[in-house]
């Protein structure tokens, strides 16, 4: 019960915010009395309890939790009942000591009151593509859709059982003799939040997702805290947390080790604060990729601070494809410790997954990026700082201060690389950077297609 204190706090905060909403919009709902549940086994005492809260233990809806039975229908019933309940807080309890198997499911709102899905036990999908029901989506496993005011919390485990998906011959280097074969390759994202708001995800362990571990699309006001995500370093596309078209996001005090990006920030995100996270192994923290297929992308007001990145392919990365439009601006990377990272600081405006990407005259612009207090060691296979900006749309207003990156072995120092990158040094850096261009290129100031 290491998390119980923090958990109570979260619960209480959610309670207050939902109650405030409740008070302002409705007048008569508090007359509901406490529901009765399974009388034979009283529910474990909830973090917060009064007559305005209800608890729905999935076992009272028939869930067995023996790691064999399919409990999908019981979870759906528990969800529907909790979602329609008019209590201010409705807790769906997934008890400790049980493993529940659930098929791909969309849990849909809006709900009458606030929802807490409290996972103290283990949730698992069917094991691999062979046992995945034919009529189920292979893009996603657990989906939360159109919900305002939900907390996913608890001390339990979400186990994606990804191994058989990672071994599909279509996955990189998993075909015969280490090749990548063509063929169906869809693999489910473990947890997906879609068009939802006022979300908290707190205290859970999430492991071995078949694909991305957690993904938010079109969400608003997301707070993730004390999340522990693990997948092997060679597991394909197992991004930790991906956000897209999502704003007002806080990701705090979490640890992610996996086979792809630790956190990735896609198009349409703004107001993102990432603090005290530990990443690695994996591919580091990434803004992008943006501008694929000549698309427009707008990303702004992103902060990553007080974090550790270790044994990753990249540290803090901004990646865009040739041919896009829009901009990435107002990004701060502050107080980040790097340990044996291959490209600790990197902007790559020539991002390309095949060999045949051509250069284009447009690009997602990159401007107003601050790198401050970034220290530690880099893997000597590449340069510690790389600013590769588009020929036609230079990067502007890059600011560097208190950078100190040393080789992780020997004393070979790689020179930083810059291409069409404008910016300033506020302090001397290690290694020294002499390749940034001064001032502002004139035509960028007049360029409209990049305005967001």
Ligand X SMILES: *[C@@H]1O[C@H](CO)[C@@H](O)[C@H](O)[C@H]1NC(C)=O
Catalytic residue numbers read 283
- Per-residue H/E/C for 310-368: ECECEEEEEEECECCEEEEEEEEEEEEEEEEECEEEEEECCCCCCCCCCCCCCECEEEE
Tracing tokens 């989906």 back to the chain, one arrives at 143
Establish if 133 lies at the interface with ligand X (CB under 6 A). yes
Of 16-24, 123-131, 200-208, 288-296, the window that binds ligand X (rule: CB under 6 A) is 16-24
CA atoms of 437 and 447, how far apart (whole Å)? 19
Establish if 197 lies at the interface with ligand X (CB under 6 A). yes
Residue 78 or 255 having the CB closest to ligand X:
255
What's the min distance (Å) between Cβ of 138 and ligand X?
12
Establish if 70 lies at the interface with ligand X (CB under 6 A). no
Establish if 85 lies at the interface with ligand X (CB under 6 A). no
Residue 40 or 358 having the CB closest to ligand X:
358
Residue 366, beta-bridge partner list: 328
Establish if 34 lies at the interface with ligand X (CB under 6 A). yes
What's the min distance (Å) between Cβ of 55 and ligand X?
13
Instruction: Name residues contacting ligand X, limited to 292-351 (CB under 6 A).
Output: 301, 303, 330, 350
Q: Which of 64, 157, 370, 406 binds ligand X (CB under 6 A)?
A: 370
Q: Which of 96, 276, 373, 382 binds ligand X (CB under 6 A)?
A: 276
What's the min distance (Å) between Cβ of 275 and ligand X?
8
Q: Which helix (H) or strand (E) holds 446?
A: helix 442-446
What's the min distance (Å) between Cβ of 271 and ligand X?
4
80 Cβ contact list (under 8 Å, min separation 6):
none
Establish if 148 lies at the interface with ligand X (CB under 6 A). yes
Q: Which of 39, 45, 176, 183 binds ligand X (CB under 6 A)?
A: 176
Establish if 271 lies at the interface with ligand X (CB under 6 A). yes
Q: Beta 214-217 vs 189-194: how paired, if at all?
A: parallel
Residue 334 or 397 having the CB closest to ligand X:
397
DSSP category for residue 176? G
Q: Tell me the CA distances in angstroms from 119 to 77, 91, 154, 160, 189, one per residue in order.
A: 16, 10, 5, 14, 18
Establish if 135 lies at the interface with ligand X (CB under 6 A). yes
Instruction: Report the number of secondary-structure helices (H) and strands (E) in the chain.
Output: 4, 30
Residue 237 or 247 having the CB closest to ligand X:
247
Q: Tell me the CA distances in angstroms from 63 to 56, 69, 151, 206, 291, one per residue in order.
A: 12, 8, 21, 21, 45
Q: Residue 304 phi/psi, 5° resolution? A: -125, 120
Establish if 359 lies at the interface with ligand X (CB under 6 A). yes
Establish if 253 lies at the interface with ligand X (CB under 6 A). yes
Which among 222, 227, 233, 70 has a CA at the least distance from the CA of 155? 227
Footprint of ligand X (CB under 6 A) = 17, 20-21, 34, 50-51, 133, 135-136, 148, 176-177, 197-198, 220-221, 226, 253-255, 271-273, 276, 301, 303, 330, 350, 358-359, 368, 370, 391, 397, 419
């Amino acid at each position: 019960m290491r998390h119980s204190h923090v958990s109570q706090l979260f619960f209480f905060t959610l309670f207050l915010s939902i109650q405030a909403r409740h008070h302002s919009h409705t007048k008569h709902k508090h007359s509901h009395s406490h529901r009765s549940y399974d009388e034979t086994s009283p529910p474990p005492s909830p973090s917060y309890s009064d007559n305005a809260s209800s608890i729905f233990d999935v076992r009272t809806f028939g869930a067995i939790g023996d790691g064999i039975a399919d409990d999908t229908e019981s979870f759906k019933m528990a969800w529907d009942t909790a979602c329609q309940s008019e209590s201010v807080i409705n807790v769906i309890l997934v008890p400790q000591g049980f493993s529940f198997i659930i098929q791909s499911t969309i849990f849909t709102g809006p709900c009458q009151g606030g929802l807490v899905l409290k996972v103290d036990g283990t949730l698992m999908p069917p094991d691999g593509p062979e046992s995945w029901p034919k009529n189920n989506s292979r893009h996603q496993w657990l989906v939360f859709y159109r919900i305002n005011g939900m907390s996913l919390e608890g001390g339990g485990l979400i186990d994606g059982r990804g191994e058989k998906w990672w071994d599909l011959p279509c996955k990189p280097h998993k075909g015969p003799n280490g090749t990548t074969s063509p063929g169906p390759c869809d693999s489910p994202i473990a947890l997906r939040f879609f068009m939802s708001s006022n979300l908290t995800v707190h205290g859970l362990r999430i492991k071995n997702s078949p694909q991305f571990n957690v993904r938010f699309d079109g969400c608003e006001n997301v707070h993730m805290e004390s999340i522990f995500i693990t997948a092997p370093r060679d597991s394909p596309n197992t991004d930790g947390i991906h956000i897209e078209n999502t704003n007002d996001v806080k990701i705090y005090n979490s640890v992610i080790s996996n086979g792809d990006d630790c956190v990735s920030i896609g198009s349409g995100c703004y107001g993102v604060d990432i603090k005290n996270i530990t990443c690695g192994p994996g591919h580091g923290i990434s803004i992008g990729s943006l501008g694929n297929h000549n698309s427009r992308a707008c990303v702004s007001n992103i902060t990553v601070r007080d974090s550790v990145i270790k044994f990753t392919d990249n540290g803090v990365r901004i990646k865009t494809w040739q041919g896009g439009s829009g901009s990435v601006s107002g990004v701060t990377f502050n107080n980040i410790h790097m340990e044996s990272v291959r490209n600790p600081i990197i902007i790559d405006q020539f991002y390309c997954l095949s060999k045949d990407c051509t250069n284009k005259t447009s690009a997602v612009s990159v401007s107003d990026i601050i790198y401050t207090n970034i220290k530690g060691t880099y893997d000597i296979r590449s340069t510690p700082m790389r600013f590769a900006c588009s020929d036609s749309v230079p990067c502007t207003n890059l600011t560097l201060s208190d950078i100190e990156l040393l080789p992780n072995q020997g004393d070979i120092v790689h020179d930083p690389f810059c291409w069409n990158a404008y910016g300033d040094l506020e302090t001397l850096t290690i290694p020294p950077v002499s390749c940034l261009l001064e001032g502002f290129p004139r035509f960028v100031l007049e360029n409209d297609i990049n305005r967001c």
